[in-house]
Amino acid sequence: MPLLPDTSAPIIFLHFPSTLILLCSTCAVTGGHALLLNGEYPWTYDNDLFGGPDFWGLMHKHWRMCKLGALQSPINIDPTKLIFDPQLGKLRISQSHVEAELWNMGQFPLLTLATKNTTTTETGGGGEKRRDEQKQQQTVLNIAGGPAHPYTYQMQQIVVHFGDVRRGERGSEHTIDRIRFPAELQILGFNSDLYDNFTQAQSQPRGLLGIAIIIEIGDRTNAELHRLSQATKHIKHRNQMVRIKRFQPAALVPPTEHYVTYDGSMTYPGCFETVTWLVFNSPIYISIEDLAQWGELVQSEAAESEAKTETGAPPPVPLSSNYRPLKASNGRALRTNINTRLKSVSDGGQCPSRMYVDMGYRTNPARTDTKVPSSPHSSLSRQEKSADARTKRDQRQLKPNRERVTEEEVRMFGMEVTDQMDSGDPTESDQEGEAADLLAKTGADDHHPNLAVNNCAVPSMAFDECSIL
């Protein structure tokens, strides 16, 4: 029995001419649908309104990257374009508990974490005084290792993105092989080695680290995610806040060391291209009941909602579909620490799959194979559509003798990968020689997404049921 409602039915969105949107922008703002950032500029995730993602770059001079940037996020993670990087180590995250505040921002729910504060006292007598800085008992949550190396990032905030829960819409920002997930949790931290605070770092080189955690439907909700879900009952309306004591952000991280990383941007205005993104290759889980709690949030303030109820006006607009449309990858490197070794094929040959891998998607057995719906929030860019067409054309040129992975191999693959990694990796020179031989045999150019060796295509890889890729 599927855990999610049927999402295969088409969802119809209305597309209005841009001229009409501009003419009606004033009524949209006054109607409460386009919300304010810092009390000045209206912005929303609804592309049918002036202030939606397509207009972010036109609304403020500091938001120009939303329209002009070439390294924007989120993107689709294409498993065929992953590059294994042996230098990517394990990500280290502070395990401490902190006090946090969960806010309804009107556009998305935001969890802010307690930061380090200092107080200055003067001691001594006479004309001689000594100034001491005493740190208060606030714990700083640091992130280091992995793509963050050699810097340390201080965890600052957590954002949750989801679709229209009542309609069964999936709302993750990043997609895997064009598949969108029910929700996505993003942990953001700033580079505390180079900058003093999040505001300063967000517009500076190597300023931010973003950890994207996919959320799937399951029988039991992740413990800390359950606490957040229950806390949403106290922040139904915009600008409402609830405090959460002894919150452990590290408990939101899935139990895996595998991830994909790329250089990107913030996914809300001003879209600064200063974020090193890390997408874990395993989801955390949320129950249908807890996910429904997030769907109860609305964009308007409490007083405004009460006034609408008394006058019989339309009900408050839900705080949903709060994810940015996909952006073109523009040739960005998708590096990973997932080490896929050589795998035998039916004819006895070997297909190198260290750098060019067509990974099959296997995760929650209850997941439907619904691709990203055709909607303003999930439509692909013109560049990505062209890249897809080239990939399909190239794949038709390969001989159809791909190895099929059995169900037993699917269940055992995670253990196989671990055992292979423990047995020792090839040296860097071996990898270079392997790549050179590969190109010599195929005569393939640099743009070929799937390379063929000894008349065999790169085998389709399937990870264990807890993996995303």
pLDDT the model gives residue 129: 45
Three-state secondary-structure class, residue 175: strand
Q: Read off the pTM.
A: 0.66
C-alpha closest to that of 224 among 256, 198, 187? 187
Domains in the chain, CATH or no CATH each: 61-116+134-311 (3.10.200.10), 339-462 (no CATH)
In the chain, % of residues over pLDDT 70: 57
CB 201 within 8 A of CB 176: no
| Residues belonging to the chain | 469
User: Is the model more confident about 135 or about 91?
Assistant: 91
- Predicted confidence (pLDDT) per residue in 231-260, tens digit: 999 999 999 999 999 999 999 999 999 999
- Predicted confidence (pLDDT) per residue in 413-456, tens digit: 333 333 333 333 444 444 444 444 433 443 333 333 332 223 33
Burial class from Cβ neighbours inside 10 Å (0-12, 13-18, 19+) for residue 222 reads buried
- Predicted confidence (pLDDT) per residue in 79-111, tens digit: 999 999 999 999 999 999 999 999 999 999 999
CB 106 within 8 A of CB 63: no
Is 151 a residue of the active site?
no
Strands 76-77 vs 175-176: parallel, antiparallel or unpaired? parallel
User: What is the band of 460 on the pLDDT scale with cuts at 50, 70, 90?
Assistant: very low
Phi, psi of 455 (to 5 degrees): 60, 25
Whether 397 shows a pLDDT value over 60: the answer reads no
pLDDT the model gives residue 420: 33
The single residue of 41, 45, 153, 195 carrying the catalytic annotation is 195
Q: How many CA atoms lie within 13 A of 340 on its CB side?
A: 28
CB 213 within 8 A of CB 186: yes
Average pLDDT on 141-153 reads 97
Whether 177 shows a pLDDT value over 60: the answer reads yes
User: Is the model more confident about 55 or about 305?
Assistant: 55
- Predicted confidence (pLDDT) per residue in 293-303, tens digit: 999 999 989 88
User: Is the model more confident about 104 or about 116?
Assistant: 104
